[in-house]
Amino acid sequence: MSRVLFLCTGNTCRSALAEGIARARLGPESGFTFESAGLDALDEAPATPHALAVAAEAGVDLDAHRARQATREMVERADCVYVMTRSQAEALARMGSPGGDRVTLLDPAGEDIPDPYGQDLDAYRRARDRIRAAVEARLGEWPVGR
């Protein structure tokens, strides 16, 4: 596996955090390409101020992040696609996107990671912590250093 795609709704909170956390955790020499996008994103929108703040608290820099709309091509070229909710997985299936076997909920327990958009900083911290734990758990599935 070399290309990992994280998807959420707007690509300004959850998937941006997941991408940033994975990239910071593994570093540029990992051989992985991490990307994120949104199923209903406004292209070029920055990460939300609260996402920037909670990312910085975790040592992750999202200043350069800009939202991207998910495309069929992104999903097709990804080796692994992680979504935040079951409804996002269902939306991908409705798009008829190939690679459905590579689409998985980020949370290994199969739980949705709620969208903190429009909520307070504590909601963003809870989302960040769940995303960080899920990314850490998923790292064990990737052939890092092999």
Rounded to whole angstroms, the Cα distance separating 96 from 142 reads: 26
The C-alpha atoms of residue 78 and residue 56 are separated, in whole angstroms, by 27
3-state secondary structure of 70: coil
Active-site positions read: 8, 14, 115
Closest-CA residue to 43 (of 8, 67, 62, 70) = 67
CB 50 within 8 A of CB 89: no
Tokens 């739980």: give the residue. Answer: 111
